[in-house]
Amino acid sequence: MSNDTFKEQAYHALSSVIDPELGIDLVSLGLIYDATLSPTGVANVTMTLTIVGCPLTDWLADSIHDALISLPGVKSIEIEITFDPAWNETMMSREAKLQLGIH
Protein backbone atom coordinates (compact mmCIF):
# COMPACT_ATOMS: atom_id res chain seq x y z
CA MET A 1 0.00 0.00 0.00
CA SER A 2 1.31 3.43 -0.85
CA ASN A 3 1.79 5.94 1.92
CA ASP A 4 -0.69 8.28 0.21
CA THR A 5 -3.34 5.56 0.37
CA PHE A 6 -2.49 4.78 3.98
CA LYS A 7 -2.55 8.46 4.92
CA GLU A 8 -6.03 8.83 3.42
CA GLN A 9 -7.26 5.74 5.30
CA ALA A 10 -5.60 6.88 8.54
CA TYR A 11 -7.09 10.37 8.36
CA HIS A 12 -10.51 8.85 7.70
CA ALA A 13 -10.13 6.55 10.72
CA LEU A 14 -8.78 9.35 12.92
CA SER A 15 -11.75 11.54 12.03
CA SER A 16 -13.71 9.26 14.39
CA VAL A 17 -11.51 10.27 17.36
CA ILE A 18 -13.31 13.13 19.06
CA ASP A 19 -11.48 15.47 21.41
CA PRO A 20 -13.58 15.12 24.59
CA GLU A 21 -13.01 18.71 25.67
CA LEU A 22 -13.88 20.36 22.35
CA GLY A 23 -16.25 17.76 20.85
CA ILE A 24 -14.52 17.90 17.46
CA ASP A 25 -12.43 15.22 15.75
CA LEU A 26 -8.63 15.38 15.72
CA VAL A 27 -8.39 15.76 11.95
CA SER A 28 -10.80 18.71 11.79
CA LEU A 29 -8.96 20.34 14.68
CA GLY A 30 -5.75 20.14 12.63
CA LEU A 31 -3.94 18.12 15.30
CA ILE A 32 -2.82 15.35 12.92
CA TYR A 33 0.22 16.43 10.91
CA ASP A 34 1.09 13.17 9.13
CA ALA A 35 0.49 9.42 9.03
CA THR A 36 2.71 6.86 7.33
CA LEU A 37 3.00 3.08 7.30
CA SER A 38 6.42 1.42 7.38
CA PRO A 39 7.16 -1.75 5.39
CA THR A 40 7.07 -3.68 8.69
CA GLY A 41 3.55 -2.48 9.56
CA VAL A 42 4.32 0.34 11.97
CA ALA A 43 1.82 3.19 11.62
CA ASN A 44 3.65 6.39 12.46
CA VAL A 45 1.44 9.33 13.42
CA THR A 46 2.85 12.81 13.84
CA MET A 47 0.55 15.07 15.76
CA THR A 48 0.37 17.99 18.10
CA LEU A 49 -1.77 18.98 21.05
CA THR A 50 -3.70 22.16 21.63
CA ILE A 51 -1.61 22.82 24.75
CA VAL A 52 1.68 21.57 26.15
CA GLY A 53 1.01 19.20 29.03
CA CYS A 54 -2.44 18.26 27.75
CA PRO A 55 -4.06 16.00 30.37
CA LEU A 56 -5.67 13.89 27.63
CA THR A 57 -2.42 12.68 26.06
CA ASP A 58 -2.79 9.06 27.20
CA TRP A 59 -6.48 8.96 26.31
CA LEU A 60 -5.72 10.36 22.85
CA ALA A 61 -2.94 7.80 22.30
CA ASP A 62 -5.28 4.94 23.22
CA SER A 63 -8.03 6.30 20.95
CA ILE A 64 -5.60 6.76 18.04
CA HIS A 65 -4.36 3.19 18.53
CA ASP A 66 -7.93 1.84 18.54
CA ALA A 67 -8.81 3.81 15.39
CA LEU A 68 -5.76 2.66 13.39
CA ILE A 69 -4.99 -0.90 14.53
CA SER A 70 -7.66 -2.45 12.28
CA LEU A 71 -6.41 -0.77 9.09
CA PRO A 72 -4.84 -3.13 6.52
CA GLY A 73 -1.16 -3.79 7.15
CA VAL A 74 -1.02 -2.09 10.56
CA LYS A 75 0.73 -4.17 13.24
CA SER A 76 1.62 -1.43 15.71
CA ILE A 77 1.30 2.31 16.18
CA GLU A 78 3.89 4.88 17.12
CA ILE A 79 2.84 8.43 17.93
CA GLU A 80 5.21 11.35 17.76
CA ILE A 81 3.99 14.49 19.48
CA THR A 82 5.53 17.68 18.20
CA PHE A 83 5.00 21.34 18.84
CA ASP A 84 6.76 22.41 15.65
CA PRO A 85 4.78 24.03 14.25
CA ALA A 86 2.77 24.98 17.28
CA TRP A 87 -0.95 24.41 16.87
CA ASN A 88 -3.18 27.42 16.39
CA GLU A 89 -6.78 28.06 15.38
CA THR A 90 -5.91 28.59 11.71
CA MET A 91 -5.12 24.86 11.43
CA MET A 92 -8.74 23.92 12.08
CA SER A 93 -11.15 23.10 9.28
CA ARG A 94 -13.82 25.64 8.41
CA GLU A 95 -16.46 23.33 9.92
CA ALA A 96 -14.54 23.05 13.21
CA LYS A 97 -14.21 26.81 13.43
CA LEU A 98 -17.93 27.21 12.86
CA GLN A 99 -18.72 24.63 15.56
CA LEU A 100 -16.57 26.53 18.02
CA GLY A 101 -17.89 29.93 16.96
CA ILE A 102 -14.53 31.09 15.57
CA HIS A 103 -14.69 33.27 12.47
Q: Where are the domains of the chain?
A: 3-100
Rounded (10°) CA dihedral 23, 28, 33, 39: 90
pTM for this structure?
Answer: 0.91
- Into which CATH architecture does domain 3-100 fall? 2-Layer Sandwich (3.30)
pLDDT tens column, 70-81? 999 999 999 999
- What whole-number percentage of the chain has pLDDT above 70? 98
pLDDT score, position 37: 97
Phi, psi of 33 (to 5 degrees): -95, -35
Residue 34 has pLDDT above 80, yes or no: yes
pLDDT score, position 1: 64
Distance CA 61, CA 13 (A): 14
